[in-house]
Amino acid sequence: MIQTDILIIGAGPTGLFTVFEAGLLKLRCHLIDALPQPGGQCSEIYPKKPIYDIPAYPEILAGDLTDKLLEQIKQFEPGFTLGERADTIEKQDDGTFIVTTNKGTKHQAPVVAIAGGLGSFEPRKPPIPNIANFEDKGVEYMIKEPEIYRGKDVVIAGGGDSALDWSIFLTDVAKSVTLIHRRNEFRGALDSVDKVQELKNEGKLMLITPAEVKGIIGDDKVEGVLVEQKDKEPFTLPCEHFIPLFGLAPKLGPIANWGLEIEKNAIKVNNALDYQTNVEGIYAIGDVNTYPGKLKLILCGFHEATLMCQSAYKRIHPDKKYVMKYTTVGGVDGFDGTRKEAPKAVVKAIN
């Protein structure tokens, strides 16, 4: 059983910043996310896309924003349960909650903060009739452990950043990598497109466009894929792994069954006070919530996380009075023993 002060559902930017605000209040956090790494959409869907509305950053790549947030919260030593989806929640007699993931991992906390962005992400699956028969038998929709592809023949389908970046990465791991896309043009970062072209020219990567995978060949596991290429006869391409990377579709998922008030696939909260849901002790912050005047912006999620943590402190420590101190004055003390503070002014007597 993993125990913490605030259990955060979702490790996107809002969830990560919650760790910092909670840390200032000496509250520990643990995060659950269905994705295999922190960052939410910023890491999984558009890591190399620039964001222009983060305060103090005229422009920052989504992946870099995630890195900065992780650096900011490192001293507060958050825990992570990644690659698992928050499935069920049970309220205990003492007022705490037990959240169990789809893999059976249990977490207990007096406060639950749902920061799941647009919800849990489910992979967009290509319309291949027999694909479900090969899931976990050579078909993967997300790459969690690159080492399983070492020395293997891999086919990747897709035209975005994820397909490009993993194709590049796996050329140093797999026996062979083939990237298939239904168009000649890619939607990813230009430097990634250039790198794929370079690897193709060097014979380190096979690129097939415009083309689509229409079938999977094999008995108990993937042995190849059926490829249809424009103006050519369909052909079979031998491989041991087929990885369709067509992005992720957001769904509220099991959270919709937690007894929370839902409006248009979002969780209604009390925005006049602390972004608490209709269940005391459960909050919703970031894109996953809704209230009059709601704006789905990362900076709004940061604001909501800040106020939520103040309310969480009062719930966890009802007998304590917290006096807010500015970090510019009081500094920041990490759970790992580190301290950040402004240099002290030098006091010098004048004769």
Q: Which two tokens stand for residue 290?
A: 């809704």
Mean pLDDT score across all residues of the chain: 91
Q: Is a pLDDT exceeding 90 seen at residue 94?
A: yes
Overall residue count recorded for the chain in this entry: 351
CA–CA distance, 166 with 92 (Å, rounded to integer): 43
Strands (E), 275-338: 282-284, 289-290, 332-333
For residue 117, what pLDDT is reported? 74
Q: What is the pLDDT of residues 19-50, one digit of tens each?
A: 999 999 999 999 999 888 898 878 766 676 78
Alpha-carbon distance 4 to 111, whole Å? 9
Supply the pTM of this predicted model.
0.69
Higher model confidence: residue 197 or residue 330?
A: 197
Count the Cβ atoms, other than its own, within 10 Å of residue 160: 18
Q: What is the reported pLDDT for 120?
A: 62
63-72, 88-97, 159-168: the lowest-pLDDT one: 159-168
Q: Which two tokens stand for residue 101?
A: 């993931």
Residue 289, sorted as left (phi over 0), alpha (psi -120 to 50) or beta, turns out to be beta
Which candidate, 246, 209, 241, places its Cα nearest to that of 225? 241
In percent, how much of the chain has pLDDT > 70?
95
pLDDT band at 188 (very low <50, low <70, confident <90, very high): confident
What one-letter code names the amino acid at 87? D
